[in-house]
A and B are shown apart, each in its own frame.
Chain A
Amino acid sequence: MSRKRRVVMFILLPAVMVSAALLYIPAQRKHSPERPLRIDRTPVLRPDYSNTVIPPNIAPLNFLVDEIGSRYYVKICSAQGKPIEVSNRTGRILIPQNQWRRLLTENKNQTLYFDVFVKAKDGRWCLYSTITSKIAGEPIDRFLVYRRMHPTHTQRLGTVALCQRDLESFHESVILDNGYYKGGCLNCHSFCNGRTDKMLMGVRGPKYGTSTLLLENGAVVKIGAKFGYTSWHPSGRLAVFSIDELPMFFHSARNEVRDTIDLNSALACFDLDSRTIKISPKIADKSRLETWPAWSPDGRFLYFCSAPMLWSDPTRFPAALYKKVKYDLVRISYDINNDQWGEVETVIAAADTGRSAAMPKVSPDGRWLLFCLCDYGYFPSWQQNSDFYIIDLQNIQQTGRYSCSRLDINSDQAEAWHTWSSNSRWIVFTSKRDQGVFTRCYISYVDAEGKVHNPLLLPQKDPAFYDICLESHNTPELVTEPIPVAGEKLARAVRGNSQVSVQIPITMATPMGRQIDEYDQPRQ
């Protein structure tokens, strides 16, 4: 190429690019349609965020306009501030993050409007009925910790990852996955008071066995025991966990194929200072199955689920009895200073509801107790009819009676695994309402009266993310800060030889009759 030609090219090329950009940018912006045809219905959006209450600090609610058209224009506005306009030919509405944040911050407790315009094939613009959502005044905790994995049965060769999602953006990071310790499972994780300075996390795998990781102020300690479902005492001095034996079985004609049963269980206390495990017959009754511990925020009561053990041999699957196992929701008082347990009192009796209680969680302000009711058993995730119920604990102080009410947000699919935000205004839970087998995380606002509002699907940067996502998101836990430890540090603890050996005292109450086959236990 001659020098002259090169000079011409150097001049021409940027000129062409600048011209194209100048033509393209107005084409993107100047498509606000005039005099559109009004359509008397709301447009079909994926995900559908209409009529929800959204956190003022949530990431942009990107969505797909599922209407046929050649061009799409969406205007998002509220009482204050400049509206956000997005226009394109695909219907993939990617909301600019800074504009979105500004709009939400300026319009707390206001209504958010989404006007969707679609250019039809004949060239006319159509305007659908406005979609509204409400912006709440209270923010949600910034981080959500959950597991990401295929909906598994018994094989666990795929990746199981414990992830941390920044709810204010779309950033997701892997805290630990089973690749770090040559395969296996990552079990339940629990945080103390919604913070990450104290955390327990269960791991198990063929290479490094079963253990529990304790994260305490940035240090990682491996405990040589399996903690089941765990709840931290608010003081951070102890954690109560379940010891259980949970074989899986399957159904030949039910919609959810998987099922499980708690053959034998009890609750135990892990004392953080002495690094010992203590058992009390009050929470480890040999004749009963105890599971799902949950402390009240004042630390005075431990809520848990308890059912009579209907079989004498806890090593055999009781085919005729498993559907008869229905858990009561109970509580027991505890004095941490004297290490004294009170008496177990029934909160919700299975005999009254005809259903089985699971996963109680008390809101951090102590006002609400949210739990699941399903037809039988301890594991609501695999019960299609599992629904959320709520108890106003303040009301009990006045009436002396426990009464629960079913939430309106329940769907005809399984709802489970809920977590409260530290301000008690938000819950995140998992549901199969939209995609059956694949569990997704939903966010719901809980107002001062305990009304739980329409949930919104955890937003993703790519609005079509869930359309092809073959993984489930489960066991969500809201936390106010990120986990301060890197995956390799956690993995080094798992792989390392050093561990705190703890003995679970074998009493008449504890189900330690035989070694549990860890690999038979459900993961989700």
Chain B
Amino acid sequence: MKLVYKLSGANGGKAARCALFFTVYYLFLYLVVDLRLIYHGGGLIMNFPAFFLGWGFFRQFLGFPGGIVQYLSALLSQFFRIAWASPLVVTAQAALISFVTFSIIKTATSRRSFYAALLPAALLLVLYGQYTYHFVTTTALLVALVFGLLQMKISSKGATTGLAGFILLSVFVYYVSGGAYLLFAAVSFINELLFKRRPLPAILYLLLAVAVPYIEGVLILGVSIIDAFTNLLPFHWRTLSHEVAGRMVTVVCVLYLFLPVLLLAFAIQRLMPSASLQQQNPGNLFDKTGLLPLIGKWCRAIFAHRWLVDSLALLAVAAAAVFFGYNSRQKTLLSVDFYAHQADWKKVLAAGSGNPTHPYVIHAVNRALYHTGRMTDDMFRYPQQPNALLLTNDTSWPAYWRVFDTYLDLGLVNLAEHALTQCLEIYGRQPVILRRLALVNMAKGNTGAARVCLGALSKTLFDANWAADYLEKIRIDPNLSADAQVQQLRRLMPQQDREFTAFDPNLLLDLLDTNRQNRMAFEYSMAFYMLTMQLDKFADNLGRLNDFDYPQIPKLYEQAVLIHQTNTKKIIQLSGRQISEQTRRQLNEFLYIYLTKWAANKQSAFRELAGSYGDTYLFYYTYGFSGMKNTVRNAGNEP
């Protein structure tokens, strides 16, 4: 009881609520958001930094302002790979930002603005709930605030000491945190001018804020004037020039502006003493005016239980952050790719239901269906689009990321290399990319290039062992004749060269010409012909069924064969196989509903056909989309 009393007291209560807030914060990030998805990126996060051990990598960050923060952020970001560690890093950063914000407000105004200090943490939650990565920028913000607080403490010892401290700290803070130094300067300036009421040093602060980046950044470190003033700020050109990296930049800008604006507001409030008096004790408002005495009484009662109001307010802020911040559709896009990279196909299929019609999800679901042996039977249980199969006609950046593993599975090694090289440019030296580039080069016999990729990987935190194993394998046997993965790729790689600028379906047939047992190439080419309704080409390649061990003609292929036979009145050679009676009956029933019952009126027949045949090729061929059976059933529209 004593503890409860203590915790519900003024400071103890706030500490307890704070602890509770950040515990829930951590759990939300851990259980709901899953920051591993941000580490993985899925092609949707293009500014996640790579990190390599060693002096050579570190030295690259020493030559420009903000390099130190970038290096530290890159190091800490690597822990996003670990499910429990990543929320710890983010929660710690959020807590520190809140603490420093609280301390700055307290130092400047003598107020204990507990809730205002928690707002930046809530904004951070929005950033992560939206699956964006701005950790470097927010770390720079934290550094600027920490030194801003230090500067305020120094300047409280006098104007001269403050100025000397500002000059020294400016040189250091600018070097460490780049453009975020401007926040440090802004906080120091506001404090000096409006709270310390010392205009002359304040003006000097302002001049130094312009001079330091120019002298240190442009003249000494030799960076461009743009980078000198904006590196690590949310509106840096690199962030703004890419739509993907620039998501939620407004929120980061609000984070940066939050404290200066708040300090300005407090300063203005100070200049209006009556208004501030009223706000300091809202209960008095009601007493003094004498208006609405009942409400006044009610308010007094509530403020008597202030901790309850505060807790509810805190809860409301957190709930708002979660409600407005959490993007479940984005999570689906990231999850399907994350699980696909881990070859956890069941989870891919499960995660896909969150955003099933997105081309990236369709693409991942098809890959999962192939790997679980269900593609030829269940493909149309899920929504399909012709271009989603191999993300053809999609030249957006994430598409390169999404397809490289599919190409590797198929054996289209050069297409994978093309996509991976594009990704190296777009996403930087991510271990995911380097591993696959190493593999591609090993398969192609480019051991020199493979060694470079493996050498780089051997400097990473989590892929070093994998790289070291392969470097040793190459040393012992440069041909890697005993490596199963490399040999598998070599078996699949096409022998016949073909020029391409975009995906060409003939590339799949080239794979089959090289290796008749390339089952994925076969199923994908047949799927491509079915999706694009090129049933003549589908029929031409049906004979390849004999190259595999299908016990009978797959269900969807039977439907395609029957459609083609019905359309062309031609008999397709099935090499001794037969269409099952069930499929024939299904076609007849489908045609009966469509042609006889609904007089070939697609719109009228839709509900009935979707409910019964929404997972068939018959339905897809008629309507051009699929995955309707479950949708219609779930919606209760089944006839």
Interface residues of A (CB under 8 A from B): 150-158, 174, 179-180, 182-183, 206-207, 247-255, 257, 259, 317, 319, 322, 434-438, 462, 464-470, 486-488, 491
Contacts and interface: CB of A to CB of B under 8 A. Distances in A.
Contacts of B421: 150-153, 257
B452 A435 contact: yes
Interface string B38-60: 00000000100000100010000
B198 to A, nearest CB: 35
A317 B504 CA distance: 15
A158 B424 contact: yes
A215 to B, nearest CB: 17
Interface size class of B (residues with CB under 8 A): 35 or more
A207 to B, nearest CB: 8
A250 B499 contact: yes
B392 to A, nearest CB: 14
B107 interface: no
Contacts of A468: 52, 56, 452, 455-456, 458-459
B631 to A, nearest CB: 37
B441 interface: yes
Interface string B482-499: 000000000001111111
Given A152-B421, A435-B449, A468-B456, A252 B510 contact: yes
Contact of B499 (A319, A437, A464): A319
A435 to B, nearest CB: 4
B558 interface: no
Contact of A470 (B227, B447, B456, B507): B456
B418 A158 contact: no
A255 B241 contact: no
B222 interface: yes
Interface stretch (B425-433, B530-538, B588-596): B425-433
Highest count of chain A CB atoms <10 Å: which of B224, B241, B496: B224
Interface in B390-427: 397, 400, 412, 414-415, 417-418, 421-422, 424-426
Interface string B502-526: 0000010010000000000000000
A154 B424 CA distance: 11
Contact of B498 (A253, A436, A486): A253
Contact of A252 (B415, B425, B449): B415
B451 A467 contact: yes
B227 A252 contact: no
Contacts of A434: 448
B550 interface: no
A486 B363 CA distance: 48
The main secondary structure of chain B at its interface with chain A is helix
13 contacts: A180-B224, A183-B237, A249-B499, A249-B501, A251-B497, A252-B498, A252-B500, A253-B493, A255-B444, A437-B446, A467-B455, A470-B434, A488-B218
A259 B499 contact: yes
B74 to A, nearest CB: 16
A183 B425 CA distance: 12
A52 B510 CA distance: 45
Contact of A154 (B52, B422, B450, B493): B422
Nearest to A466: B452
The main secondary structure of chain A at its interface with chain B is loop
B241 A182 contact: yes
Contact of A251 (B52, B453, B493, B498): B498
Contacts of A319: 499
Contacts of B215: none
Contacts of A465: 56
Nearest to A492: B225
A156 B397 CA distance: 11
A155 B426 CA distance: 7
Given A435-B452, A486-B222, A153 B418 contact: yes
Contacts of B46: 157
Given A252-B500, A254-B414, A437-B446, A488 B452 contact: no
A435 B451 contact: yes
Contacts of B422: 153-155
B242 interface: yes
Contacts of A252: 412, 414-415, 494, 496-500, 507, 510
B226 interface: yes
Contacts of B222: 174, 486-488
Given A158-B424, A250-B499, A470 B224 contact: no
Contacts of B417: 257
B389 to A, nearest CB: 18
Highest count of chain B CB atoms <10 Å: which of A155, A464, A466, A486: A155
Contacts of A437: 441, 446, 449, 452
Contacts of A259: 499
Contacts of B448: 434-436, 438
Highest count of chain A CB atoms <10 Å: which of B428, B429, B449: B449
A411 to B, nearest CB: 11
Contacts of B434: 470
A180 B448 CA distance: 33
A158 B428 contact: yes
Given A255-B444, A259-B499, 10 more contacts: A158-B425, A179-B224, A182-B226, A251-B500, A253-B498, A317-B501, A438-B449, A467-B452, A468-B52, A468-B455
Given A251-B498, A252-B500, A462-B56, A438 B426 contact: no
Contacts of A155: 397, 400, 422, 425-426
The 6 closest A-B pairs by CB, nearest first: A436-B449, A436-B446, A253-B497, A435-B448, A468-B455, A467-B455
A179 B227 contact: yes
Contacts of B455: 464, 467-468
A469 B501 CA distance: 28
B418 to A, nearest CB: 5
A508 B50 CA distance: 52
Contact of A182 (B237, B429, B497, B500): B237
Contacts of B418: 153, 250, 257
Interface in B200-238: 218, 222, 224-227, 237-238
Contacts of A153: 418, 421-422, 425
